[in-house]
Chain A
Amino acid sequence: MLKRGSLAAILGLLLGLLSAASASAAGPVSCTPPAVYNRVSGVCTVVVTNPGAPVKNRPKSGAGQSAHAAAPACVNLNGDTIPCRDGESWWSNGWGCYVRPMKPQPPKSDPRWNGHGDGAVYECYDPMVARAGGIAVTYRWSAAPPAGPVAPPDPRVLAQTAIAQMRLRAIGIGIVPEPGPNRVGIIGMPTWMWAADPGPATLGPITRTASAGGFTVTATAKADRIVWQMGDGATVTCRGAGTPYADSFGRQSSPDCGYTYTHQGTYTVRATSYWRVDWSGMGLTGTIPLTFTRATVITMGEAQVLTQ
């Protein structure tokens, strides 16, 4: 939304556009950016992708409005104040049309995605084109909902709010041989790794919702895998929490998450959990990847057999 305080900035923008256009008049056929050459009309034309409200026709505070609280202005490209809503659609001053997410969203192979994989494709209804007798609806990709005085919140932002409520964290490392001074594992013996504190915050699944302005987004997070960097260049990928070691297992290998060192030394072991957060709401869906890492240090030694 454009504020009164930005009047000077807008004026500057328009003056800049004028100067750009003027500059092109003295140049060759190639126009001075942001002016673009119209090959048919033969003129340099400044295409403004985010014009906001024209300065001279900016709506003034009317009866019942506070002089200090300017009402949201929905202004078409002629400078006329128009309704900010049209059914589910909201007016975008930048695009000059009523917009809403396309329902359902087209497959990602659709060229209207413009090669993108994120964001959404929005329907753009242009009343001025409709009045002129042309096709009034186009479909445009955008990373976030096009801005407007009554535009809905960015669902990705709501998804992040929901994720923050989950308080996700790295797993507590369970490992044998245990870390710490005077703890030495024996090379050749199996090393067991597991999540010491399995739960919704460390492995998921966990679901939370976030709302704003009457819009709600629901996000579900789940750890897809835990990748263990063993410190000697090896990595082990485990699905699930792993199995805690107990003395009763003796020299058995872990059934689902283990490793065997072949050289003695001190190793920094890192456990990175890879999360996938799927969110949906406001007619849109998306996926957010997350990672959390925790590290510990273990020591491996060589068993010595003493004989007399």
Chain B
Amino acid sequence: MIHSARNCAVGLALVAVVTAACTDPASTPTPTTSTPTVSVPTTTELPTTPADPRLASAEEAVTRFSNLLDVLGADPMRSLDELTTVSRGQTLETWRDMLTNQRRRGQKQIGTVAITLSGAKPTNDGKVTVDACLDVSKTDLVDKAGKSVVSKDRVPRVRYTYVVEQGTDGRFYVVQDKAVGTC
């Protein structure tokens, strides 16, 4: 395999950090293109335990997916192929690219995201939507020098909506995930 040394800062193009152009080999890549603003917190939904086993399985898939992102973000020696065991489609592509880009830059996650599920419901097309509140306040993302690259405006709790579908193999996969607000 080719292991040629490159002076240019790693990983600027897949994630379009076009503002941090690769002109200065000594420059430090800046990871952000924008900082999301904080929306008004909504009422907290109480977690429930769905009686429908499909809904419960979908919630388990979301929890496994979230926990796996923590692991893969923290350990660059864990294979990103593990994502395929719990995600597919756009979610798989997005997070594989996102984590690959972090690894190109030598960034690592510290700490874990606390996930609180707040409900699952079936959709008309046979999938399941799962809502969850993610508490990221105990996590950090640091560069090779150990310096945090987290936005100073990061919200501590983010509400996510996931879409989960059951594969022909019987397993449940996260196929869509979207941050929809705060919680």
Contacts and interface: CB of A to CB of B under 8 A. Distances in A.
Interface of A: 14, 17-18, 21-22, 24-31, 35-49, 51, 54, 56-57, 76-80, 82-83, 86-87, 96, 98, 109, 111-112, 114-115, 125-140
B77 interface: yes
Contact of A26 (B23, B37, B159, B173): B37
Contact of A98 (B2, B23, B109, B181): B2
Contacts of A35: 33-34
The 10 closest A-B pairs by CB, nearest first: A42-B154, A134-B76, A77-B13, A25-B34, A21-B33, A78-B8, A37-B179, A42-B151, A111-B84, A43-B32
Contacts of A133: 76, 106
A37 B36 contact: yes
Contacts of A14: 16, 18
Nearest to B19: A18
Interface residues of B, number: 81
A13 to B, nearest CB: 9
Given A30-B179, A39-B158, A127-B2, A132 B103 contact: yes
Interface in B136-183: 136, 139-141, 144, 149-151, 153-155, 158-160, 167-169, 171, 173, 178-182
Nearest to A116: B88
Given A29-B155, A127-B2, A133-B76, A47 B8 contact: no
Most buried by B among A27, A35, A40, A136: A40
Interface string B18-31: 11011100000001
A68 B81 CA distance: 42
B62 interface: no
B36 A24 contact: yes
A198 B159 CA distance: 66
B12 interface: yes
B122 interface: no
A57 B21 CA distance: 10
Given A29-B39, A127-B1, A127-B2, A138 B80 contact: yes
B121 interface: no
Interface string B69-88: 10001001111110011001
